[in-house]
A and B are shown apart, each in its own frame.
Chain A
Amino acid sequence: MAKTSAMSMARSTVMNTATTAPGAQGAMTRPHDEPTTLARQTEQETLDVCDTVLRRALDKGATQAEVWGEHAVSTNASLEQNELKGAATAEHAAFGIRVITGTGADARVGFCYVNRKDSASLNEAIDDALAIARASSPDEANDLVDPRPVRPIGGLLDRRVVALSADDAVGLAARMLQAARDIDARVSIDSGYVAVAHGTVALATSRGIRLADTDSSILWGLFGMAVDGDDVGSFENVSEAVRDFDAIDVEASGREFAQRALSLLKPRAGRSFTGPAIFSPAAFDEVFLAALSASVDGDAVRKGKSRLKDKLGARIAARGFTLVDDGTLPGGNGSAPFDREGLPHRRTVLVGDGVLHHFVYDGRAAKRAGRPPTGHAEGSARTLPGVGLTNVRLQPGTLDDDALLATLGSGLWIGRFSGDVDEVSGDFSGVAKASFAVKGGRRAWPVQETLIAGNVFDLLPRVVERGANLRRLVTVDCPPVLVDGLKVTAGP
Chain B
Amino acid sequence: MLDLLESALARSSGPWLELRLHDRRARSVLVEDGVLEAARATRHCGVGVRAFVDGAWGFASTSELLLPAVLRAIDAATRAAAAAARGRKVKAAAPSSCPFPSGTWTSPARVPLSSLSLSDKIALVHQTDAAAKAAGAHITSSSCKYSELVDEKWIATSDGARVHIIDTKPELRVQAVAERAGELQSCVEAAGHTGGFGDLFARRSADEMAIRAAKTATDLLRAPYIDGGKQQVILSPDVVGLLVHEAIGHTVEADFVLAGSAAAGKLGQPVASELVTLCDSGESEYAPGAGGVVLVDDEGVAAQRVTIIERGILKSYLHNRETAAHFGVAPTGNARAFEFDNEPLIRMRNTYIEPGTTELASMIADTDDGWLLVGAKNGQADANAEFMFVVGEAYPITRGRLGALHRGTTITGNAFDVLRSVDRVGTHFAWDLGSGYCGKGQPAKVDAGGPHIRCTAVLAGGSSADAE
Contacts and interface: CB of A to CB of B under 8 A. Distances in A.
A443 interface: no
A449 B414 contact: yes
Q: Which 6 A-B pairs have the closest CB atoms?
A: A86-B57, A489-B228, A451-B460, A190-B259, A420-B390, A87-B80
A125 B183 CA distance: 43
Contacts of B11: none
A190 B261 CA distance: 9
B189 to A, nearest CB: 15
Contacts of A225: 259-260, 383-384
A221 B22 CA distance: 28
B388 interface: yes
B228 to A, nearest CB: 3
A129 interface: yes
B186 interface: yes
25 contacts: A83-B90, A85-B56, A89-B77, A111-B41, A114-B42, A116-B43, A116-B63, A135-B118, A170-B86, A188-B259, A227-B260, A234-B383, A307-B184, A384-B40, A419-B410, A425-B183, A429-B408, A430-B410, A433-B382, A448-B384, A453-B460, A485-B464, A491-B230, A491-B413, A491-B458
A170 B460 contact: no
Given A89-B80, A487-B463, A115 B87 contact: no
A188 B35 CA distance: 50
Contact of A81 (B36, B60, B255): B255
B35, B43, B184, B468 — which one has the most chain A CB atoms within 10 A of its CB?
B184
B87 A170 contact: yes
Contacts of A454: 463-465
Given A137-B36, A304-B177, A235 B382 contact: yes
Nearest to A88: B59
B458 A451 contact: yes
A90 B60 contact: yes
B390 A382 contact: no
A161 interface: no
Contacts of B224: none
Contacts of B41: 111-113, 125, 128-129, 132
A427 B407 contact: yes
A451 B46 CA distance: 44
Nearest to B32: A303
Contact of A489 (B81, B117, B413, B461): B461
Contacts of A92: 46, 61, 63, 341
Contact of A232 (B46, B261, B460): B261
A2 interface: no
B384 A234 contact: yes
Given A112-B42, A225-B384, A453-B461, A86 B414 contact: no
B111 interface: no
A139 B208 CA distance: 28
B115 to A, nearest CB: 16
A167 B84 CA distance: 7
Max chain B CB contacts within 10 Å: which of A80, A171, A427, A453? A453
B219 interface: no
Interface string A412-433: 0000001110101101011101
Nearest to B440: A191
Interface in B114-130: 117-119, 122, 126
B299 interface: no
Most B-side CB within 10 Å, residue of A139, A448, A459, A489: A489
A115 B43 contact: yes
A356 to B, nearest CB: 15
Given A77-B84, A86-B56, A384-B38, 18 more contacts: A80-B259, A85-B92, A86-B59, A87-B84, A88-B58, A90-B60, A110-B39, A116-B45, A135-B39, A225-B259, A225-B260, A234-B383, A304-B179, A419-B388, A449-B413, A451-B388, A453-B228, A487-B228
Interface residues of B, number: 91
A112 B463 CA distance: 43
A136 B117 CA distance: 12
Contacts of B80: 86-89, 166
Interface residues of A, number: 89
- Residue of B63, B380, B462 with most chain A CB atoms under a 10 A cut-off: B63
Contacts of B157: none
B87 A173 contact: yes
Contacts of A304: 140-141, 177, 179, 184
B33 to A, nearest CB: 6
Given A90-B341, A425-B184, A451 B86 contact: no
Given A305-B184, A429-B409, A459-B464, A382 B42 contact: yes
B399 interface: no
Interface core residue of B90, B185, B384 (most chain A CB under 10 Å): B384
B343 interface: yes
Interface string B71-92: 0000011011101101111101
Contact of B36 (A84, A125, A136, A492): A136
A463 interface: no
A324 interface: no
B441 A116 contact: no
Contacts of B81: 86-87
Contacts of B42: 112-114, 382
Greatest chain B CB density within 10 A among A121, A191, A303, A448 is at: A303
A431 B386 contact: yes
A404 interface: no
B63 A87 contact: no
A233 interface: yes
A449 B388 CA distance: 9
Interface in A49-101: 77, 80-93
Given A80-B255, A90-B61, A190-B259, A234 B382 contact: yes
A307 B141 CA distance: 13
A84 B464 contact: no
Interface string A429-463: 11101000000000000001101111100110000
Contacts of B181: none
A232 B384 contact: yes
Contacts of A171: 87
Contacts of B382: 234-235, 418, 433
Interface string A460-492: 000000000000000000000000011101011
B405 to A, nearest CB: 15
A119 interface: no
A41 interface: no
A234 B462 CA distance: 25
A382 B24 CA distance: 13
A411 to B, nearest CB: 13
A405 interface: no
Given A84-B84, A110-B39, A113-B40, A424 B414 contact: no
B64 interface: yes
Interface in A301-338: 303-305, 307, 310
Contacts of A449: 386, 412-414, 458
A117 to B, nearest CB: 8
Contact of B88 (A83, A227, A384, A489): A83
Most buried by B among A84, A171, A429: A429
Interface string B372-407: 000001101011111010100000000000000001
Contacts of B57: 85-87
A188 B184 contact: no
Contacts of A124: 43
B184 A233 contact: no
Contacts of A81: 255, 258-259
B377 to A, nearest CB: 5
Given A89-B80, A304-B179, A429 B262 contact: no
Contact of B468 (A90, A111, A274, A305): A274
Contacts of B255: 80-81, 190-191
Given A139-B36, A166-B80, A422 B186 contact: yes
A272 interface: yes
Contacts of B314: none
